[in-house]
Amino acid sequence: MKKVLFATTALVMTAGVASAEIALSGDARMGLVYDGNDAQFASRARVRFTATGETDSGLSYGASFRVDHERAAQRAGNGTRGAVYVSGTYGKLSMGDVASASEMAVGDLYGVGYTGGDFYGNLNEPSYLTADGNNLDQGPNILYEYSISGVNVFASATDGSDDPWGPAYGEGDNSTDSDLAWSLGASYEGTFSNGTYNVGLGYGKHGDQKEIVVGGEVTSGAFMAKAFYADYKNRPDINFAISDDESITIDNTGIEYDRAYGLSLGYEYNNMLFKGFWRRDEGEAVVAGLSDVEYDSWGIGVDYDLGGGATVAAGIADSDWFSDTVADVGIRFAF
């Protein structure tokens, strides 16, 4: 299959740098989403700009953002969307809408459905304390990563501000949040006779809130499995969004978000990839007379690779966070 996207061809420039190029890519999807009551059409198309370059001394740099990132609020222009990086012998430093060190080290469970998890609130993703847009919005994040001989180390932080840099200088005082959020992580990747494995550990802190997250993944032939465990301290709430609806929040007085753990499995057969995940979130009662709470979530799905960047996918999910079983089916494209 031939894919054509105008301006995909690199633009090569030589003014003051060894090389630089700008590439254009995109993705799209269309299908049906069932929200527990009725089915709705759901489609999306996005275009991404990726710019890369290299200095005369061999230092690599680059940036990427999507066209839809240039909205009035939370846009690439002020660093809350898109990312910029510089990379060399001693690692890679990125800034913008980048993951935390904990997330880089541990990652997420396998998602299902053609919407990439949007239809069930991305419940396959652990709730990382820092640099997770569904839980903490502190403006641009900075991430350092370094790899050697299968060992990967990560460090990240926000600027301790809920507002972008624009209103934060001059007469506009930025007083919404003064606590720096930071995270450290490490992972190790290895191989065995018929597969690969990796294990990761992450630690995050924001004010009095803390997290420790561990996880691992193994692949062997057509089989794959991944698991995580997260322990939280002094964390009063968690929230996440399902598609464009209002966020669902646990913010109960006397209940603290205590721990989460989950498992996902996958199996690849010819052009099909079968996936599933299960996750549990637990809240601890810290006030006499209240009871601990727990929320189970699960999802199963299948992807069928059509080749040429097109995939048909379907998924079904259910959770104690919401009252109905939800599902989606559709096709997604990568250009």
Beta strands in 111-222 (DSSP E): 141-148, 151-158, 181-192, 195-206, 209-220
Please write the tens of the pLDDT for every residue from 206-230. Answer: 888 899 999 999 999 999 999 999 9
In a domain, 329, yes or no: yes
Residue in this structure with the two tokens 């069928």, named with its chain if needed:
304
Which residues lie closer than 8 Å to 39 by C-beta, 6 or more apart? 32, 33
In a domain, 50, yes or no: no
In a domain, 119, yes or no: yes
Question: Any bridge partners for residue 260, and if so which?
Answer: 230, 281
- Find, among 328, 319, 326, 249, the residue nearest to 283 by Cα: 249
Strands 195-206 and 223-233, by their bridges, are unpaired
* 78 neighbors 166 (Cβ within 8 angstroms): yes
Q: Lowest mean pLDDT of 95-104, 126-135, 162-171, name the range.
A: 162-171
Size (the chain), residues: 335
- Residue 167: pLDDT band (50, 70, 90) is very low
Residue 235: predicted pLDDT: 83
In a domain, 57, yes or no: no
* 95 neighbors 63 (Cβ within 8 angstroms): no
How far, in Å, CA of 301 to CA of 124, rounded? 12
For residue 228, the number of C-alpha atoms closer than 13 Å in the C-beta half-sphere is 31
- Find, among 65, 98, 75, 66, the residue nearest to 164 by Cα: 75
Please write the tens of the pLDDT for every residue from 1-44. Answer: 555 454 444 444 444 445 779 999 999 999 999 988 899 999 99
Average pLDDT over residues 290-296: 87
Residue 32: predicted pLDDT: 96
Residue 178: predicted pLDDT: 57
| Single-letter residue type at 322 | F
Give the dihedral sign, CA 75/127/296/124: positive
In a domain, 186, yes or no: yes
Residue 74: C-alpha distances to residues 71, 78, 258, 263 (Å): 7, 7, 30, 33
**Above 50 in pLDDT, residue 246?**
no
Percent of the chain predicted with pLDDT > 90: 56
Average pLDDT over residues 53-76: 77
* 142 neighbors 95 (Cβ within 8 angstroms): yes
**Above 60 in pLDDT, residue 75?**
no
In a domain, 292, yes or no: yes
- Find, among 140, 184, 183, 134, the residue nearest to 162 by Cα: 140
pTM (two decimals): 0.84
- Residue 281: pLDDT band (50, 70, 90) is very high
Residue 296: predicted pLDDT: 94
Domain containing 201 — which CATH number? 2.40.160.10
Residue 211: predicted pLDDT: 94
- Residue 160: pLDDT band (50, 70, 90) is low
Residue in this structure with the two tokens 């934060």, named with its chain if needed:
168
103 membership: H or E segment, kind and range: helix 101-106
How far, in Å, CA of 29 to CA of 20, rounded? 31
Terminal Cα distance for the chain, rounded: 11
Give the dihedral sign, CA 141/160/246/134: positive
In a domain, 295, yes or no: yes
Question: Any bridge partners for residue 190, and if so which?
Answer: 197
Percent of the chain predicted with pLDDT > 70: 77
Count: domains in the chain = 1
How far, in Å, CA of 205 to CA of 1, rounded? 48
**Above 60 in pLDDT, residue 143?**
yes
Mean pLDDT for the chain?
83
Residue in this structure with the two tokens 């994040």, named with its chain if needed:
141
Average pLDDT over residues 258-287: 95
- Residue 165: pLDDT band (50, 70, 90) is very low
- What does the block give as tokens for 204? 């995050």
Average pLDDT over residues 257-273: 96
For residue 292, give its domain range: 86-334
Residue 324: predicted pLDDT: 85
**Above 70 in pLDDT, residue 168?**
no
Residue 233: predicted pLDDT: 92
How far, in Å, CA of 113 to CA of 317, rounded? 9
Strands 83-88 and 91-96, by their bridges, are antiparallel
In a domain, 276, yes or no: yes
Residue 137: predicted pLDDT: 52
